[in-house]
Amino acid sequence: MIYTVTLNPSIDYVINLEHLNKGHVNRVNSENVYPGGKGINVSRILKTLGHDSVATGFLSGFTGDFIRNSLYELNVKSDFINLDNGFTRINVKIKSEEETEINGGGPHISDEKLKELFDKLNELNKDDILILAGSIPSTLKEDLYERIMEHVKDHNVKVVVDATKKLLLNVLKYNPFLIKPNNHELEEIFNVKLDTVEDIIFYAKKLQDMGARNVLISRGKDGALLITENGEVLISNVAKGNVINSVGAGDSMVAGFVAGYLNSNSYEEALKLGSASGSATAFSSDLAKREFIDELIREIKIERR
């Protein structure tokens, strides 16, 4: 089974308006609400691609109920831990001339509730995949991903980590199966400017030298690049389309990669499906539909370096 962990889920309240007039009342043209959080997004795309997963993490209050009910309606399995205080955060995403985001803080997570999460992780085994995605709430210590990986290391679980900066660097010693920084995050990690594909390959291999088995670099309009544990360098193009939604594209790439790998045991096929899934979400108002992913995958070509 695949398990996704979202430590700080959200309701994503997405509004569209022609012009954001600061300091005045604004009327929206359209509005939507979605269950949000990187791990939740991964679970939703996995379901779209025909793979069950269990979404876990922490939920609280009426907003937590909305997320749980939404996932139920989408036939996405969940096993969240209920918090006794506060409410799951609401993230407001305003789309006008430019995109503006206002992210909520989220509730406090106690040591007792955190232990419940670790107890759930005790059940994982070598046939499972664990996906750790997104930021860690400010109420928790920044070493939480490290502690989780330490906790499951003897279970031989394949762990995927989609995080930034120290959160990512500090887990490399536990040899995650896959990490997925984007090219800008790669620049931040090493404090460099990456001008060429060769530069990206060089620093992606550094992350592999530090412990990651497979390194997937998303590159926006330039596609994606994968350094495999077998020493291969695979580069994908990007499908053609108009970007209308930046939320969830990277999560969709992670989900597509995992689904593609499980379907074929091939890193090339995993990269193709990951690239198509990421593009399909970027070209959609919400997370991508299966038909659109299947359409775009025909445009994805893989180059070997």
Supply the residues annotated as catalytic. Answer: 251
Strands 233-236 and 302-304: antiparallel
Do 8 and 56 contact (CB within 8 A), yes or no? no
| Phi–psi pair at 78, nearest 5 degrees | -140, 155
> For the chain, first and last CA: distance in Å?
33
In the chain, the largest separation of any two C-alpha atoms, in whole Å, equals: 57
Beta bridge partners of 227: 215, 233
C-alpha–C-alpha distance, residues 132 and 161, integer Å: 5
Contact status, residue 29 vs residue 53, Cβ threshold 8 Å: no
